[in-house]
Amino acid sequence: MSCCRSASGTSLSPGRCAVILDFLSAGLDVFLSPLALGFTFVGIIVGLVVGAMPGLGPLMGIILLLPVAIGLPPVAAMGFLIAIFVGGSCGGSISAILLRIPGTPLAAATLYDGYPLAQKGRASDAIGIAITSSAIGGLIGGVVLVFCAPILASLAANFAPPEYTMLAIMGLFAIVVISGGSIIKGLLAGSFGLLISTVGTDSFSTGLRFTFGSHNLLNGFHIVAVVVGLFAISEMAAQMMKRDLLKIPDVKVARPGLHTISLTLRHYVNLIRSSAIGTFFGAIPGAGGVISSFTSYAVAKAAAKPGEEYGEGAEGGVVATESANNSTVGGTLVPTLSLGIPGDASSAMLLGALLILGFIPGPAMFENNPDVVGGIFMVYLASNVFLLFAGILATPIFVYVLRIPKVYLIPSILLLCSIGTFALQASVFDLQVMLAFGLIGILFRAADYPLAPVVIGMILGPILEANLRRSLLISREGYWIFLDRPVSATLVAVNVLLLVAMAYLTIKRIRGTTKGDLEKATSPEE
């Protein structure tokens, strides 16, 4: 199917619609299998559970179950992981509303109105509104994904190695700039990820790099072992340092009904606006759900009608944050699938899963594997529909899960990490890699280094190196090839701007820190 070439225009012409329908119909065939449907549904349940548990969240859910997913057919595997992403992005609202602890940072803004609503005796309504808003927001993000991803992929079909080189650098820079914290630490973490990806056999010269004579390192580190170690092991160590390991949270059972759908639809303007904001931020690499949910909350608050008291239990507050953070998932899949540039750490893991399954995200996947692309569209849309019904009807189960003390969860998660990582290649070496990266993850967390850029660097590393070397191979003027081509030159300019922004933010931060520390040190409160 020459879908990318058949409609070269970027407007929503009848030809473009036909291309999109082709994708969806190709995807429908593979999606309508018991395995794909079943795992998408299970993924939603798992996602809601990991999202609801403070300290876990969608990224951890994807990481922990990635070893299970890669043993499945491609669309079932992606359905499972995407559904965990979707369910996990929404699940955090349950603990935010009931416990005043957001299960994930994505649900932090839901606290403002979700918890006050629960305090007014409307916990069930608040959870129902959160789930419905998430599902509808996710569906709006899905529509954008279905229409925009093929357009972006067809634009990128004309990209050559120089453009891909600059895109990979841009993806990394964007993550570092927007993800907050120290820019230099973010860049160091990202560069460390790029370096890890060079371990193994060089695909050009077939030379061995950093293998130290070990045959286990010929193919480099397995990304799952690295990611499980960095995130899961270090998170479990962090959880062990808390003092509520035996505590059983006091959670009252909430039973939201289907009437909450109509409650949510009353806020349709807010719903559509917040979903649009979420999708927009999702499509920008690095922006993610946290920024989108806080932004849409601020916009909704600014546009509130008299009588709507945001911060004191307004339904609109929950609608704004939850629709935004779930529509972000659809937005983040646009650059991930069409350009191979992940929007955040969770989509980086989805990209990693696609690579492990044998598919290289980007225009070529749209051209060569329309069934997989269409299947991914279908599982994403279906997972939001499943979220609506499974979420509302099974909330009492998720509330029960919140009562499980950490003393049972921590060893269970460690065990899942070990079995899952071992199952990848039946390799004990992968387990050792996992533990080693767990220790690195602990050090990075303790020193306040972000972990997401390490993963993004590891995913983007091979893309960056291969395209950089290909660019230099086809160039007669060395590095000038990046400025000779208009699109590549534009991307170079964007990267330079991002570098300037990074320098500016770093200087501002140093000035702020030194001033702030001095003030802090002399403050009577401190």
Partner 1 sequence: MASSRTLNLTALGFLFAVIVIVFWQVETDFKEQGIASGGPYDDASLYPRAIAIFIGVLLVFQLVIESIRGRTTTLTEVIQASDLGRAGMMLAVFAVYLMVLTTIGYHLATAPMICAIMWICGMRNLPKLAISSVAIATSFAFVFEAFLNVVLPLGIWNIFIPW
Structural element, H or E, at residue 364: helix 363-368
- In whole angstroms, how close is the CB of 193 to partner 1 at the nearest point? 10
**Closest to partner 1 by CB, 29 or 519:** 519
Q: Report the residue from 12, 218, 240, 248 that binds partner 1 according to the rule CB under 8 A.
A: 240
Measure the CA–CA gap between 497 and 494, rounded to whole angstroms: 5
Map the footprint of partner 1 across residues 405-434, applying CB under 8 A: 406-408, 410-412, 414-416, 418-419, 422-423, 426, 428, 431-432
CA-angle at 348, arms to 215 and 298, nearest 5°? 155
Span near partner 1 by CB under 8 A; candidates 16-24, 34-42, 206-214, 483-491: 206-214
- In whole angstroms, how close is the CB of 67 to partner 1 at the nearest point? 9
Residue 208: phi and psi, rounded to 5, are -100, 130
Does the footprint of partner 1 cover residue 397 (CB under 8 A)? no
Across-strand partners of 201?
Answer: 208
In the DSSP assignment, the letter for residue 200 is: E
Within 8 A by CB and 6+ apart from 423, the residues are: 67, 68, 71
Map the footprint of partner 1 across residues 463-522, applying CB under 8 A: 464-465, 468-470, 472-473, 506, 510, 513-514, 517-518, 520-521
- In whole angstroms, how close is the CB of 238 to partner 1 at the nearest point? 7
Considering only CA atoms, which of 426, 302, 388, 365 is closest in space to residue 86? Answer: 388
- In whole angstroms, how close is the CB of 408 to partner 1 at the nearest point? 7
Helix (H, G, I), strand (E, B) or coil at 208: strand
- In whole angstroms, how close is the CB of 130 to partner 1 at the nearest point? 30
**Closest to partner 1 by CB, 368 or 506:** 506
Q: Report the residue from 100, 120, 242, 508 that binds partner 1 according to the rule CB under 8 A.
A: 242
**Closest to partner 1 by CB, 241 or 302:** 241
Helix (H, G, I), strand (E, B) or coil at 201: strand
Measure the CA–CA gap between 24 and 375, rounded to whole angstroms: 7
Between β-strands 200-201 and 208-209, what pairing exists: parallel, antiparallel or unpaired?
antiparallel
**Closest to partner 1 by CB, 129 or 233:** 233
Map the footprint of partner 1 across residues 65-124, applying CB under 8 A: 68, 71
**Closest to partner 1 by CB, 233 or 376:** 233
- In whole angstroms, how close is the CB of 79 to partner 1 at the nearest point? 16
Size of the site for partner 1 (CB under 8 A): 73
The answer to whether the Cα torsion of 381, 384, 389, 393 is positive or negative is positive
Q: Report the residue from 14, 34, 121, 205 that binds partner 1 according to the rule CB under 8 A.
A: 205
**Closest to partner 1 by CB, 445 or 485:** 445
Does the footprint of partner 1 cover residue 233 (CB under 8 A)? yes
Whether the Cβ atoms of residue 53 and residue 13 lie closer than 8 Å to each other: no
Q: Which residues of 152-165 are buried (b: 16+ CB within 10 A; e: fewer)?
A: bbbbbbebebbbbb
* Residue recorded with tokens 């229409």: 147
Measure the CA–CA gap between 358 and 370, rounded to whole angstroms: 14
Q: Report the residue from 444, 451, 454, 458 that binds partner 1 according to the rule CB under 8 A.
A: 444
Does the footprint of partner 1 cover residue 35 (CB under 8 A)? no
Q: How far, in whole angstroms, is CA 358 from its chain's centroid? A: 20
Span near partner 1 by CB under 8 A; candidates 166-174, 179-187, 288-296, 297-305: 179-187
Within 8 A by CB and 6+ apart from 15, the residues are: 6, 7, 9
Map the footprint of partner 1 across residues 244-283, applying CB under 8 A: 245-246
Map the footprint of partner 1 across residues 300-319, applying CB under 8 A: none
Helix (H, G, I), strand (E, B) or coil at 241: coil
Map the footprint of partner 1 across residues 326-365, applying CB under 8 A: none
Span near partner 1 by CB under 8 A; candidates 20-28, 180-188, 216-224, 261-269: 180-188
- In whole angstroms, how close is the CB of 13 to partner 1 at the nearest point? 40
**Closest to partner 1 by CB, 302 or 521:** 521
- In whole angstroms, how close is the CB of 202 to partner 1 at the nearest point? 4
**Closest to partner 1 by CB, 368 or 425:** 425
**Closest to partner 1 by CB, 105 or 200:** 200
**What are the E-state strand segments in 379-437?**
none
Measure the CA–CA gap between 81 and 454, rounded to whole angstroms: 20
Measure the CA–CA gap between 362 and 354, rounded to whole angstroms: 11
Burial class (CB in 10 A: 0-12, 13-18, 19+), 214: exposed
In the DSSP assignment, the letter for residue 267 is: T
- In whole angstroms, how close is the CB of 414 to partner 1 at the nearest point? 6
Span near partner 1 by CB under 8 A; candidates 77-85, 136-144, 263-271, 439-447: 439-447
Q: In the numeric block, which tokens belong to residue 49?
A: 């559970």
Q: Report the residue from 236, 263, 283, 290 that binds partner 1 according to the rule CB under 8 A.
A: 236
